[in-house]
Amino acid sequence: MTPAVCIQNVHKVYNNTAVVNDLTLVIQPGEIFGLLGPNGAGKSTTIRMLTTLTQPTQGQVIVAGYDVVKQPLRVKQQIGVVLQQTSVDMDLSVWENMEFHGRMHHIPDTDRQKEIDRWLDYVELGDRRKELVKTLSGGMKRRLQIARALLHQPQILFLDEPTVGLDPQTRRRLWEIIKGLNQQGMTILLTTHYMEEVEYLCDRIGIMDSGKLIALGTLQELRQSRGEGLVMKQKGDLQDGQAERWDYQFFPTMADAKAYLDQQPDKTGMMTRPSNLEDIFVDLTGRNLD
Protein backbone atom coordinates (compact mmCIF):
# COMPACT_ATOMS: atom_id res chain seq x y z
CA MET A 1 0.00 0.00 0.00
CA THR A 2 1.36 3.41 -0.99
CA PRO A 3 1.93 5.62 2.08
CA ALA A 4 -0.23 8.73 2.37
CA VAL A 5 2.87 10.70 3.36
CA CYS A 6 6.51 9.71 2.98
CA ILE A 7 9.25 12.03 4.21
CA GLN A 8 12.79 10.80 3.61
CA ASN A 9 15.89 12.45 5.15
CA VAL A 10 14.43 15.93 4.77
CA HIS A 11 16.31 19.06 5.75
CA LYS A 12 15.07 22.64 5.62
CA VAL A 13 17.62 25.38 6.12
CA TYR A 14 16.90 29.10 6.63
CA ASN A 15 19.83 31.52 6.88
CA ASN A 16 22.28 28.66 7.53
CA THR A 17 20.07 27.34 10.35
CA ALA A 18 18.51 23.87 10.07
CA VAL A 19 14.82 24.27 10.96
CA VAL A 20 14.08 20.67 9.98
CA ASN A 21 17.00 18.31 10.42
CA ASP A 22 17.09 14.89 8.71
CA LEU A 23 13.40 14.13 9.20
CA THR A 24 12.09 10.73 8.12
CA LEU A 25 8.42 9.88 8.64
CA VAL A 26 5.79 7.65 7.02
CA ILE A 27 2.03 8.09 7.52
CA GLN A 28 -0.22 5.30 6.30
CA PRO A 29 -3.58 5.80 4.53
CA GLY A 30 -6.48 6.05 6.96
CA GLU A 31 -4.40 7.25 9.93
CA ILE A 32 -5.05 10.22 12.14
CA PHE A 33 -1.50 11.32 12.87
CA GLY A 34 -0.69 13.94 15.51
CA LEU A 35 2.46 16.04 15.07
CA LEU A 36 3.49 17.77 18.29
CA GLY A 37 6.33 20.05 19.24
CA PRO A 38 7.14 23.19 21.22
CA ASN A 39 7.37 26.50 19.41
CA GLY A 40 10.33 26.43 17.01
CA ALA A 41 10.41 22.63 16.83
CA GLY A 42 9.96 22.61 13.03
CA LYS A 43 6.44 21.21 12.77
CA SER A 44 4.98 24.27 10.99
CA THR A 45 7.82 24.18 8.45
CA THR A 46 7.16 20.47 7.96
CA ILE A 47 3.48 21.18 7.26
CA ARG A 48 4.48 23.93 4.81
CA MET A 49 6.66 21.46 2.91
CA LEU A 50 3.93 18.81 2.86
CA THR A 51 1.42 21.31 1.46
CA THR A 52 3.83 22.66 -1.21
CA LEU A 53 4.13 26.11 0.41
CA THR A 54 7.91 25.75 0.73
CA GLN A 55 10.44 23.33 -0.74
CA PRO A 56 12.83 21.12 1.22
CA THR A 57 16.49 22.07 1.07
CA GLN A 58 17.39 18.40 0.89
CA GLY A 59 15.57 15.07 0.90
CA GLN A 60 12.31 13.87 -0.61
CA VAL A 61 8.67 14.53 0.34
CA ILE A 62 5.96 12.38 -1.27
CA VAL A 63 2.28 13.13 -0.59
CA ALA A 64 -0.46 10.84 -1.96
CA GLY A 65 2.14 9.31 -4.28
CA TYR A 66 3.34 12.64 -5.74
CA ASP A 67 6.60 14.53 -5.22
CA VAL A 68 5.94 17.95 -3.68
CA VAL A 69 8.81 19.52 -5.64
CA LYS A 70 8.31 17.86 -9.03
CA GLN A 71 4.50 17.51 -8.97
CA PRO A 72 3.12 20.28 -6.72
CA LEU A 73 -0.13 20.67 -8.69
CA ARG A 74 -0.92 16.98 -8.35
CA VAL A 75 -0.21 17.19 -4.63
CA LYS A 76 -2.58 20.17 -4.25
CA GLN A 77 -5.33 18.21 -5.95
CA GLN A 78 -5.02 15.44 -3.34
CA ILE A 79 -4.92 17.51 -0.15
CA GLY A 80 -7.23 19.71 1.90
CA VAL A 81 -5.74 22.28 4.27
CA VAL A 82 -7.33 23.97 7.29
CA LEU A 83 -5.03 26.60 8.75
CA GLN A 84 -5.12 27.99 12.27
CA GLN A 85 -5.82 31.46 10.89
CA THR A 86 -9.30 32.06 9.49
CA SER A 87 -8.83 31.92 5.73
CA VAL A 88 -12.40 32.19 4.45
CA ASP A 89 -13.63 35.46 2.88
CA MET A 90 -15.54 37.39 5.52
CA ASP A 91 -17.48 39.52 3.03
CA LEU A 92 -18.88 36.55 1.12
CA SER A 93 -21.67 34.27 2.20
CA VAL A 94 -21.11 30.69 3.31
CA TRP A 95 -22.33 29.41 -0.06
CA GLU A 96 -20.24 31.94 -2.02
CA ASN A 97 -17.06 30.80 -0.24
CA MET A 98 -17.80 27.21 -1.18
CA GLU A 99 -18.78 28.12 -4.75
CA PHE A 100 -15.58 30.11 -5.29
CA HIS A 101 -13.43 27.26 -3.98
CA GLY A 102 -15.25 24.74 -6.16
CA ARG A 103 -14.72 26.84 -9.26
CA MET A 104 -11.03 27.24 -8.44
CA HIS A 105 -10.78 23.45 -8.43
CA HIS A 106 -12.73 23.24 -11.73
CA ILE A 107 -15.45 21.04 -10.24
CA PRO A 108 -18.26 20.70 -12.85
CA ASP A 109 -21.45 22.66 -12.08
CA THR A 110 -23.72 19.72 -11.25
CA ASP A 111 -21.16 17.95 -9.08
CA ARG A 112 -20.18 21.21 -7.43
CA GLN A 113 -23.67 22.00 -6.18
CA LYS A 114 -24.13 18.47 -4.85
CA GLU A 115 -20.78 18.57 -3.05
CA ILE A 116 -21.46 22.01 -1.57
CA ASP A 117 -24.77 20.78 -0.18
CA ARG A 118 -23.20 17.57 1.07
CA TRP A 119 -20.36 19.16 3.01
CA LEU A 120 -22.33 22.10 4.38
CA ASP A 121 -24.85 19.61 5.74
CA TYR A 122 -22.02 17.46 7.13
CA VAL A 123 -20.62 20.35 9.18
CA GLU A 124 -24.13 21.50 10.11
CA LEU A 125 -24.03 24.75 8.14
CA GLY A 126 -26.68 23.93 5.53
CA ASP A 127 -29.14 26.36 7.09
CA ARG A 128 -26.48 29.11 7.16
CA ARG A 129 -25.58 29.02 3.46
CA LYS A 130 -26.93 32.53 2.72
CA GLU A 131 -25.34 34.22 5.76
CA LEU A 132 -22.21 36.35 5.51
CA VAL A 133 -19.18 34.66 7.06
CA LYS A 134 -18.43 37.68 9.24
CA THR A 135 -21.71 37.05 11.11
CA LEU A 136 -20.72 33.49 12.08
CA SER A 137 -19.21 32.35 15.36
CA GLY A 138 -15.60 31.20 15.54
CA GLY A 139 -16.65 27.56 15.60
CA MET A 140 -18.88 27.98 12.54
CA LYS A 141 -16.03 29.65 10.63
CA ARG A 142 -13.76 26.72 11.46
CA ARG A 143 -16.42 24.25 10.33
CA LEU A 144 -16.76 26.19 7.08
CA GLN A 145 -13.01 25.95 6.56
CA ILE A 146 -13.24 22.18 6.97
CA ALA A 147 -16.18 21.93 4.55
CA ARG A 148 -14.31 24.02 1.99
CA ALA A 149 -11.16 21.91 2.36
CA LEU A 150 -13.21 18.76 1.64
CA LEU A 151 -15.11 20.09 -1.37
CA HIS A 152 -12.69 18.76 -4.00
CA GLN A 153 -12.59 15.31 -2.32
CA PRO A 154 -8.96 15.23 -1.15
CA GLN A 155 -7.28 12.07 0.05
CA ILE A 156 -5.43 13.76 2.91
CA LEU A 157 -6.59 16.51 5.25
CA PHE A 158 -4.07 18.75 7.04
CA LEU A 159 -5.43 20.40 10.18
CA ASP A 160 -3.19 23.05 11.76
CA GLU A 161 -4.51 23.63 15.30
CA PRO A 162 -8.13 23.36 14.14
CA THR A 163 -9.74 24.01 17.53
CA VAL A 164 -7.51 26.76 18.94
CA GLY A 165 -9.49 29.50 20.67
CA LEU A 166 -12.77 27.58 20.63
CA ASP A 167 -14.94 26.81 23.65
CA PRO A 168 -14.88 23.21 24.96
CA GLN A 169 -18.32 22.30 23.56
CA THR A 170 -17.44 23.53 20.06
CA ARG A 171 -14.06 21.81 20.26
CA ARG A 172 -15.75 18.50 21.08
CA ARG A 173 -18.12 18.88 18.15
CA LEU A 174 -15.17 19.38 15.81
CA TRP A 175 -13.54 16.28 17.26
CA GLU A 176 -16.60 14.27 16.26
CA ILE A 177 -16.50 15.76 12.74
CA ILE A 178 -12.82 14.80 12.43
CA LYS A 179 -13.48 11.29 13.76
CA GLY A 180 -16.34 10.87 11.30
CA LEU A 181 -14.15 11.89 8.37
CA ASN A 182 -11.52 9.37 9.39
CA GLN A 183 -14.14 6.64 9.66
CA GLN A 184 -14.99 7.38 6.02
CA GLY A 185 -11.35 6.66 5.10
CA MET A 186 -9.82 10.14 5.25
CA THR A 187 -6.14 10.37 6.22
CA ILE A 188 -5.61 13.27 8.63
CA LEU A 189 -2.47 14.99 9.85
CA LEU A 190 -3.16 17.13 12.90
CA THR A 191 -1.12 19.68 14.83
CA THR A 192 -2.49 20.97 18.10
CA HIS A 193 -1.57 22.42 21.48
CA TYR A 194 -4.29 20.43 23.25
CA MET A 195 -2.94 17.15 24.61
CA GLU A 196 -6.42 15.73 25.24
CA GLU A 197 -7.19 16.34 21.57
CA VAL A 198 -4.30 14.13 20.52
CA GLU A 199 -5.16 11.47 23.08
CA TYR A 200 -8.76 11.35 21.84
CA LEU A 201 -8.19 11.56 18.08
CA CYS A 202 -4.79 10.25 17.02
CA ASP A 203 -3.78 6.73 16.05
CA ARG A 204 -0.09 7.63 16.22
CA ILE A 205 1.89 10.58 17.52
CA GLY A 206 5.17 12.15 16.46
CA ILE A 207 7.02 14.58 18.71
CA MET A 208 9.48 17.03 17.17
CA ASP A 209 12.08 19.16 18.90
CA SER A 210 14.88 21.27 17.41
CA GLY A 211 13.96 20.11 13.91
CA LYS A 212 14.19 16.41 14.70
CA LEU A 213 11.64 13.67 15.34
CA ILE A 214 12.44 12.56 18.90
CA ALA A 215 9.54 10.16 19.55
CA LEU A 216 7.06 8.21 17.42
CA GLY A 217 4.34 5.73 18.26
CA THR A 218 0.86 5.17 19.63
CA LEU A 219 -0.03 6.76 22.96
CA GLN A 220 0.32 3.38 24.63
CA GLU A 221 3.72 2.80 23.04
CA LEU A 222 4.93 6.22 24.20
CA ARG A 223 3.64 5.57 27.73
CA GLN A 224 5.37 2.20 27.80
CA SER A 225 8.63 3.71 26.57
CA ARG A 226 8.72 6.36 29.31
CA GLY A 227 6.74 4.63 32.04
CA GLU A 228 3.04 4.12 32.74
CA GLY A 229 3.21 5.16 36.39
CA LEU A 230 4.27 8.45 37.98
CA VAL A 231 5.34 9.47 41.44
CA MET A 232 4.85 13.20 41.94
CA LYS A 233 6.63 15.06 44.73
CA GLN A 234 5.82 18.58 45.77
CA LYS A 235 8.72 21.03 45.67
CA GLY A 236 8.61 24.41 47.34
CA ASP A 237 5.83 25.98 49.36
CA LEU A 238 2.16 25.99 48.46
CA GLN A 239 1.01 29.04 46.52
CA ASP A 240 -2.76 29.70 46.57
CA GLY A 241 -3.32 26.14 47.73
CA GLN A 242 -1.23 24.57 44.92
CA ALA A 243 2.34 23.29 44.83
CA GLU A 244 4.81 25.76 43.39
CA ARG A 245 6.49 22.92 41.52
CA TRP A 246 6.32 19.15 41.20
CA ASP A 247 9.08 16.66 40.50
CA TYR A 248 8.01 13.67 38.39
CA GLN A 249 9.55 10.21 38.44
CA PHE A 250 8.45 7.61 35.86
CA PHE A 251 7.99 3.91 36.63
CA PRO A 252 7.23 1.03 34.23
CA THR A 253 3.81 0.38 35.78
CA MET A 254 1.45 1.95 38.30
CA ALA A 255 2.18 -0.97 40.61
CA ASP A 256 5.88 -0.07 40.53
CA ALA A 257 5.07 3.57 41.27
CA LYS A 258 2.86 2.62 44.25
CA ALA A 259 5.48 0.19 45.57
CA TYR A 260 8.09 2.96 45.47
CA LEU A 261 5.78 5.35 47.31
CA ASP A 262 5.00 2.71 49.98
CA GLN A 263 8.73 2.38 50.67
CA GLN A 264 9.19 6.08 51.43
CA PRO A 265 9.51 6.88 55.15
CA ASP A 266 8.03 10.35 54.60
CA LYS A 267 5.24 10.52 52.04
CA THR A 268 4.38 14.17 52.67
CA GLY A 269 3.68 15.99 49.39
CA MET A 270 3.90 12.78 47.34
CA MET A 271 1.30 11.02 45.20
CA THR A 272 1.01 8.53 42.34
CA ARG A 273 -1.02 8.63 39.13
CA PRO A 274 -0.91 7.19 35.59
CA SER A 275 1.32 9.06 33.15
CA ASN A 276 -0.27 10.99 30.29
CA LEU A 277 0.88 12.51 27.01
CA GLU A 278 1.72 15.87 28.57
CA ASP A 279 4.03 14.18 31.10
CA ILE A 280 5.81 12.37 28.27
CA PHE A 281 6.05 15.51 26.17
CA VAL A 282 7.58 17.59 28.97
CA ASP A 283 9.95 14.77 29.91
CA LEU A 284 11.19 14.49 26.32
CA THR A 285 11.44 18.18 25.45
CA GLY A 286 11.85 19.82 28.83
CA ARG A 287 9.12 22.27 27.85
CA ASN A 288 5.36 22.60 27.92
CA LEU A 289 3.63 22.48 24.56
CA ASP A 290 2.57 26.12 24.63
pLDDT tens series, the chain, 290 aa:
789 999 999 999 998 889 999 999 999 999 999 999 998 899 989 999 999 999 999 999 999 999 999 999 999 999 999 987 888 999 999 999 999 999 999 999 989 999 999 999 999 999 999 999 999 999 999 999 999 999 999 999 999 888 888 888 888 999 999 999 999 999 999 998 889 999 999 999 999 999 999 999 999 999 999 999 999 998 766 555 554 678 889 999 999 999 999 999 998 889 999 999 999 999 998 865 44
Rounded-to-integer distance, Cα 190 and Cα 8, Å: 20
Neighbours of 247 (CB within 10 A): 12
In sequence order, what are the residues at sequence separation of 6 or more whose Cβ sits closer than 8 angstroms to the Cβ of residue 82? 142, 145, 146, 149, 157, 158, 159, 160, 162
Q: CA-based Rg of the chain, rounded to a whole angstrom?
A: 22
Dist CA 68 CA 53 (whole Å): 9
CA distance 33 to 156: 11
| Segments making up each domain of the chain, as ranges | 5-223, 228-274
| 52, HSE (Cβ side, Cα atoms, 13 Å) | 19
Q: Return the bridge partners of 66, or none.
A: 63
Ordered DSSP codes for 28-57: -TT-EEEEE--TTSSHHHHHHHHTTSS--S
> Can you tell me the distance from the alpha carbon of 42 to that of 48, in angstroms, rounded to the nearest whole number?
10
* Cβ atoms < 10 Å from Cβ of 134: 11
Cβ-based burial of 110 (10 A; exposed 0-12, middle 13-18, buried ≥19): exposed
Return the CATH number of 5-223, one of 3.30.70.1380, 3.40.50.300, 2.40.50.140, 3.30.70.3270. 3.40.50.300
As a whole number of angstroms, the longest Cα–Cα distance in the chain is 76
* pTM to 2 decimal places: 0.89
**Cα distance between residue 81 and residue 61, in whole Å:** 17
